[in-house]
Structure 1
Amino acid sequence: MDKSKNKIGLWSAVGIGVGAMVGAGIFALMGEAGAIAGKAVYISFILGGIIAAISGYSLAKLGASFPAAGGIVKYVAQAFGLNVFSGGISVLLYLSSIITLALLAKAFGSYAAVLFNLKESLIYINIFALSIMLLIGIIQYFGIKKVVKFQNVSIVITIIILVIFATVGLIYMKPELMAPALYPSSNKILFSIAITFFSYEGFRIITHTAEDIVNPEKNLMKAIFISIGITMVIYTTLAYAVFGNLEVDKVIEAKNYALAEASKPVFGNLGYTIISVTALFATASTINATLYAATKISYQMAKDGEFPSFFSKQIGNSRVGLLVSLLLTGLLIVFLDLLQIAAVGSIAMLSIHAVTHLGHLKIIHQTKASKFLVVTALLTTLTVIVLFLIYSIKDSYTILFLFVGLLVLSFLIELTARLITNRKVTKSN
Structure 2
Amino acid sequence: MDSQGSNGPGGIGDGAGRLGGREASDASKAMTVRGAAFLGVGSMVGAGIFALLGEAGAVAGSAVWVSFLVAGIVATLQGYAVAKLGARYPSSGGVVTFLLQAYGRGHTTAIASWLLYFAAVIVTAMVAVSFGSYGTALLFDDSVAWSRILTVAVVLVVAAVNIFGAKLLDRVQTTIVVLLLAVFAVFVVVTLAQVDPALLARSTYPPAVDIVSSVALTFFAYLGFTVVSFTGGDLPNPSRNLPRAMYLALGITIALYVLISIGVFGTLTVDEVIANGETALAVAAKPALGDAGFAIMAFAALLATSSSANANLYAAVGSTAKLAESGSFPPVFGRSVRIGGTGGLVITAALILLLSLFVDLTAIASLGSVVALAIFMVTSIGAFRLRKDIGANTSILVVGIVLTAVVLAVFAVQTLRTSPQTFAGMVAILALAAILELVWDRLRARRA
Scaled by the length of structure 2, the TM-score of the pair is 0.85
**CA displacement, residues 69-110 of structure 1 (integer Å, 9 cap, x when unaligned):** 331112112211111232111111112211221222122122
- Runs of 5+ consecutive residues of structure 1 not aligned to the other structure: none
Task: Determine the structure 2 residue equivalent to 1:52.
Answer: 75
* 1:7 corresponds to 2:30: yes
* 1:306 corresponds to 2:328: yes
* 1:332 corresponds to 2:354: yes
CA distance in 1, matches of 2:219, 2:272: 23
Match for 1:38: what amino acid? G
Contact 1:6–1:145 under 8 Å retained in 2: no
Contact 2:129–2:356 under 8 Å retained in 1: no
Partner residue of 2:401 out of 378, 383, 386:
378
Partner residue of 2:150 out of 103, 107, 128:
128
CA distance in 2, matches of 1:292, 1:6: 19
Match for 1:172: what amino acid? Q
Task: Determine the structure 2 residue equivalent to 1:168.
Answer: 190
Q: Percent identity?
A: 35
When residues 215 and 257 of structure 1 are mapped into structure 2, their CA distance, relative to the original with a 3 A threshold, is same
* 1:236 corresponds to 2:221: no
Work out the number of aligned pairs and report it. 422
Task: Determine the structure 2 residue equivalent to 1:225.
Answer: 247
When residues 403 and 248 of structure 1 are mapped into structure 2, their CA distance, relative to the original with a 3 A threshold, is closer
Task: Determine the structure 2 residue equivalent to 1:94.
Answer: 117
- Runs of 5+ consecutive residues of structure 2 not aligned to the other structure: 1-22
RMSD over aligned Cα, in angstroms? 2.9
CA distance in 1, matches of 2:163, 2:32: 20
Task: Determine the structure 2 residue equivalent to 1:259.
Answer: 281
CA distance in 1, matches of 2:385, 2:103: 8
Contact 1:99–1:332 under 8 Å retained in 2: no
When residues 283 and 41 of structure 1 are mapped into structure 2, their CA distance, relative to the original with a 3 A threshold, is same
When residues 386 and 308 of structure 1 are mapped into structure 2, their CA distance, relative to the original with a 3 A threshold, is same
Task: Determine the structure 2 residue equivalent to 1:41.
Answer: 64
Match for 1:398: what amino acid? Q
**CA displacement, residues 214-262 of structure 1 (integer Å, 9 cap, x when unaligned):** 3322222111110110011111111121122122332232222221221
* Bigger shift: residues 169-178 or 320-329: 320-329
* 1:279 corresponds to 2:304: no
| 1:111-260 mapped onto 2 (5 Å cutoff) | 111-117=134-140, 119-122=142-145, 124-140=146-162, 146-260=168-282
- Displacement of 1:331 in angstroms is 4.4
| Partner SS, residue 418 of structure 2 | coil
CA distance in 1, matches of 2:231, 2:350: 23
CA distance in 2, matches of 1:320, 1:147: 20
CA distance in 2, matches of 1:327, 1:242: 33
When residues 279 and 335 of structure 1 are mapped into structure 2, their CA distance, relative to the original with a 3 A threshold, is closer
| Partner SS, residue 68 of structure 1 | coil
CA distance in 1, matches of 2:239, 2:133: 40
CA distance in 2, matches of 1:44, 1:132: 30
Contact 2:50–2:130 under 8 Å retained in 1: no
When residues 362 and 42 of structure 1 are mapped into structure 2, their CA distance, relative to the original with a 3 A threshold, is same
| Partner SS, residue 422 of structure 1 | helix
When residues 195 and 341 of structure 1 are mapped into structure 2, their CA distance, relative to the original with a 3 A threshold, is closer
Match for 2:426: what amino acid? F
Scaled by the length of structure 1, the TM-score of the pair is 0.88
